[in-house]
Amino acid sequence: MGIKHYDLEPQNAHAAKCVFKLDTPNTSYIMAVVDEDNFLGHIYYGSKLKDHDVTYLLRTGEAPFVPSKNNRDKCSFMDSFPMEYPGHGLGDYRDGCIDVISQEGHRGVSLSVVSHKICTGKPDLTGLPATFGGAGHCTTLEILCEDKALGLVVTLMYTAFEDVDVITRSVYVENASKKDLYLTKVLSACLDMDNKKFERMTLHGSWARERHIQRQKIGFGKYAVSSLRGEPGHQEHPFMALMTEGASQDAGEVYAVNFVYSGNFIVQEEVNQFDSVRLTMGINSEDFCWKLGTGEGFQAPEAVLVYSENGIGGMTRTFHDLYRNHLIRGEYKDKKRPVLINNWEATYFDFDTDKLLAIARQASELGIEMLVMDDGWFGNRDSDNRALGDWQVNEEKLKGGLDFLVKKVNKLGMKFGIWFEPEMISPDSDLYRNHPDWAIAIPGRRAALARNQYVLDITREEVRDYVYECVAGILRSANIEYVKWDMNRPLSDIGSAKLSADRQGELYHRYVLALYELQNRLTEEFPYLLLENCSGGGARFDPGMLYYSPQIWCSDDTDAIERLEIQEGTALIYPLSAMGAHVSDCPNHTVGRTTPFETRGYVALAGTFGYELDVTRIPEEDRKMIPSQIAMYHKYNDLVRSGDYYRIASYRENHRYDCYAVVSKDKKEALVTYIQVLNCPNYHSRRIYLKGLDPNMKYRIEGEEEEYYGETLMKAGIQVKNLWGDFKGRLYHLKAVL
Ligand code: GLA
C-alpha cells in the first residue's frame, strides 16, 4: 500500500521516464511522465496490480508517437494522449481541466512535471473542507508542474488511503510570473480511460424529490451535470459513476467521483473519436474568473475517486466508510443523536411558548429527547415574506424570552434546538432597510427574489461578522444544543458591492469559502453543538457540508414512500448516520398520501430519526406507538450508524417494494428493512436474498426459532409473507448464534 515512484530505464521503449503508483487495499492508480516535455499521462486505475511498468498502455510506441519522435503531429498526440491534468488550447480538443487568460489576453495552458514529493498523512486544504487521515491511514503525493510560458505553477495532490479504496485529488495553482493571470477554469480531477462500454449513474431531482438515480449508456460527445446556483442544488448532484455494462449492486466495475464542495460544480464525461472517455470534476468554470496576482495562489477543492470491482454496493460502502471515518468530525461523529421533535410541520409560523411547551410536555412523556424550534421565532417573522436578518427573539411569541423557554424544556428532561437561516436577508427587514448593499445584487438591476428573500454577501467581513454574532449571540444566551442551519434560496444576480471589477468573477467561490469560515467558527466556539445543515430540504447535501455537520436534512418531503427513492439516492454515497429523516403527520403535507405510522417509523430509522408533527394532535393510536418506535431507534441505531449498507431491492426499479440491510462490521448482527409499497393480488410469498452475512455463521431471525447459515440466507433467501395492504413494512433483525 502507499505511493511509490519508479525511475525507468532512459529511453524506455514507450518514452516514459518515471512512474507513480498509488495503491489502496484493493486498487492501483498508475501514472507516468513521458517525453521531453514531461507530460503526465494516466495509465491505469482499477483493481490492484503487482507490476508498475505498464507504460505500454500509454500507446506512445504507436502513431502519432510522442512529440520528440514526431513533432509534425503534436496536435494528434495532444488530442489523444490520456492526460492526467489536461490544459487547454494547445492541441487537446477535449475539455481540459485548467485555463488561464494572460495579461496580454492569451489563453492556453500545458503542464510539464518538474518535481514531486511523497509524504505520510494528508495536509489540510486551506479554507476548504477535505477528508483527513494521519500517518498510517494515508500517503500523499504532490507533483509539481509548470507552464513555463505563463509562469504558472500547478501542484497536483493525490492521497491514497490505506483502510479504504479511495484516492483523493486536489490542485493548487500559483502565479510565479511577474504579471497578473486570470484563472478561468480549475478543475480538481480528471480520469482519461478507454471506454469499457460504460453506463453512467447520476443523481437528479427538484425540491421535495432530491437525488433520484438516473442510469444511461454513454455515447460519443459530452454529458455534464452541473450547478450555477451557488450550492449543489436540489436539481443536480456533484457525483458521477461510470460502470461496466450491466453492473449490479454486487458485480461489475464502477468508477465514481464525488466533490467535497458546496458551491457551483461540474462533473462531465466526454467520449472522443477514439472511444476513450474523459471524466472531469471541479468548480464550474462558468461565471468563474479568479485573479492571480504575482505570488498569489488558488486552492481547488477536493475530488474523491472510488473504484469498485464489486459493483455499486462496493462503491457505496467505500464512500460510507470514507465519510464516517475521514470526513465527519466532532462530538457526534460516532454518537447516537437525540431523538428530536421539530415544530415546522406541526405549527409552521403559528406558535408561541405555550404551544411549544405543550408539544414538549407530551413529547417528553413519550421519550422524545429534544425540541427543535424551527422558523418563525425572531423579528416579525409571521410568514416567509419577512424578517430574515433580524435575529432578535420575538417576545410576543416567546413570552418570557428564549432562555425561559429553554429552561422549561430542559426541566422536562429535553434538550433544545433552534433554526437559523443566517445567509439570508428579507427586503422587509430592519437589516435590509439599514444595509441594502449587503444583499448580493448587480448595480442597476433589480435582483431576483426567491421565497421573497435575497442572499447576504457574506464574502464581506463586516457582513460575515454580523451574521456570526447573530447566531452565536443567541447560542450564548441559552442552553441550546442543536442548530438547524438552513439556506432557502439559490444565488443569482452575482454582484458584490465590495469586490473590484476584475474580481467579481470570484464571488461564487468566495461565498462558499465564507460559508465554510462561518461554520468553522461556529463549531470551534460551540464544539458540543449538534449542527444539522439544510437547504430547502436537501439542496446542499454534499461532503463539504458534512465536514461541519454530521447530519443534513435530506428533503422537505417526509412522505415515507417518496423518501424511499430520495434515501436510496442519498445512501448511494452518504452514510445513513448523515441523513436527516423524520416521522411526520398524515395526510403527508407534500403529497397528501396516508401511510401507516409504523411504516413512517421504519423509513425514518434509516436516517437520524426524529418527529416532525404536533404530537398533541395526532391520532391516539399513532401517539401510542411513539415509545416503542423510540425503543426501536435505541435498539438499532448503533448498527444503522456504523454498519455496512446493502441494497437488496429497489422500489424505484420494481415499482412494488423496497429492501435494504445494514450488517455490522463483524457480521454478527443485521437489520433488514422491507417496505411493501403496493400489494399485489394473488401472489406467493416473496423471496428475498440477503446480503453481506458471513456464509459460515449461523443466524436466527428475532422472533423465530430456526437457525440458518448465512450462506442459506444469502443464496436461498428468506420468504417474506404477503403483507395485507399498501405501504406496509417489516423489519428482520438477525443475530449470529454463537
Ligand atoms: C426549509 C426547511 C424546512 C423548514 C423551512 C422553514 O424549507 O427545509 O425544514 O425549516 O425551511 O422556513
Q: What is the pLDDT of residues 358-413, one digit of tens each?
A: 999 999 999 999 999 999 999 999 999 999 999 999 999 999 999 999 999 999 99
**CA 646 / ligand 1 centre spacing (Å):** 31
Contact by Cβ (8 Å): 233, 490: yes
**Backbone φ, ψ for residue 463 (5° rounding):** -70, -45
- Is the pLDDT at 10 greater than 90? The verdict is no
Closest ligand 1 atom number to CA of residue 534:
8
H helix runs in 485-583, sequence order: 507-525, 543-546, 560-571
- Is the pLDDT at 14 greater than 80? The verdict is no
pLDDT of residue 1: 86
Q: What is the pLDDT of residues 523-568, one digit of tens each?
A: 999 999 999 999 999 999 999 999 999 999 999 999 999 999 999 9
Q: What is the pLDDT of residues 639-689, one digit of tens each?
A: 999 999 999 999 999 999 999 999 999 999 999 999 999 999 998 999 999
pLDDT of residue 366: 98
Taking the C-alpha atoms of residue 517 and residue 527, their distance in angstroms, rounded to an integer, is: 15
CA atoms within 13 A on the CB side of 621: 3
Q: Who lines ligand 1 at CB under 6 A?
A: 344, 374-375, 384, 419, 486, 488, 534, 536-537, 553, 556
**Catalytic, out of 35, 390, 486, 644:** 486
How sure is the predictor about 718, in pLDDT bands with cuts at 50, 70 and 90? very high
| 388 residue type, one letter | L
| DSSP state string for 184-243 | EEEEEEEEEEE--S-EEEEEEEETTEEEEEEEEE--SEEEEEE--SSS-TTTB-SEEEEE
Q: Please say if 556 is a catalytic residue.
A: yes
Model-level pTM? 0.98
- Is the pLDDT at 511 greater than 90? The verdict is yes
What percent of the chain is modeled with pLDDT above 90?
98
How sure is the predictor about 41, in pLDDT bands with cuts at 50, 70 and 90? very high
Provide the 8-state DSSP code for 310: B
Taking the C-alpha atoms of residue 75 and residue 64, their distance in angstroms, rounded to an integer, is: 9
Q: What is the pLDDT of residues 441-492, one digit of tens each?
A: 999 999 999 999 999 999 999 999 999 999 999 999 999 999 999 999 999 9
pLDDT of residue 46: 98
Taking the C-alpha atoms of residue 100 and residue 296, their distance in angstroms, rounded to an integer, is: 14
pLDDT of residue 675: 98
**CA 556 / ligand 1 centre spacing (Å):** 7
**CA 450 / ligand 1 centre spacing (Å):** 14
pLDDT of residue 13: 67
Q: What is the pLDDT of residues 112-123, one digit of tens each?
A: 999 999 999 999
Chain mean pLDDT for the chain: 97
- Is the pLDDT at 12 greater than 80? The verdict is no
